Homo-oligomer: A and B are copies of this chain.
Amino acid sequence: MSKNAEGVFLEYLDANALSMTPQRKRIVETFLETEHHFSAEQLGQLVKQGAPDIGQATVYRTLKLLVESGLAASVDFGDGITLYEHAYGHAHHDHLVCMKCGVKVEIYDASIEARQEEVAIAHGYTLTRHHMCLFGLCAACQAKEK
């Protein structure tokens, strides 16, 4: 799957008259190797290991391209920092976050999705997207509380 994710990015560049540069290549590859959620800053750190001359502005600019190409998605956990995750080949999901240790679980509940649609329609809205994030304490942190 991640084999042709880069291909998708190349197509996107091509379709928009943008070119693949060593910097973009390095950033995309680092992105593809990075699991879970990470900030632009964190990705920049990883990118700079072995490519110290890449500027953070380029990381931000490329991350924007990654989102536009559909490879990445930005996630907002409400703490003012934009995090990113893989979007290519990943189905829609929401998040459940432990407020103590920060562990994040991807969740998906068909009945919630269905009700969201119904609620929107009930108000005359056409639903485009949504953002849902549940905050609580994970099992491990609950145990530690005792």
A contacts, CB < 8 Å to B = 76, 78, 80, 96, 98-99, 105, 107, 109, 111-112, 115-116, 119-120, 123-139, 142
Contacts and interface: CB of A to CB of B under 8 A. Distances in A.
Contacts of A99: 128
B132 A136 contact: no
B125 A116 contact: no
**Which 10 residue pairs spanning A and B have beta carbons closest together?**
A124-B139, A125-B136, A127-B136, A132-B132, A130-B134, A76-B78, A128-B136, A131-B133, A126-B137, A126-B136
12 contacts: A76-B76, A96-B119, A96-B120, A96-B123, A116-B134, A119-B134, A125-B136, A127-B134, A127-B135, A127-B136, A130-B132, A131-B135
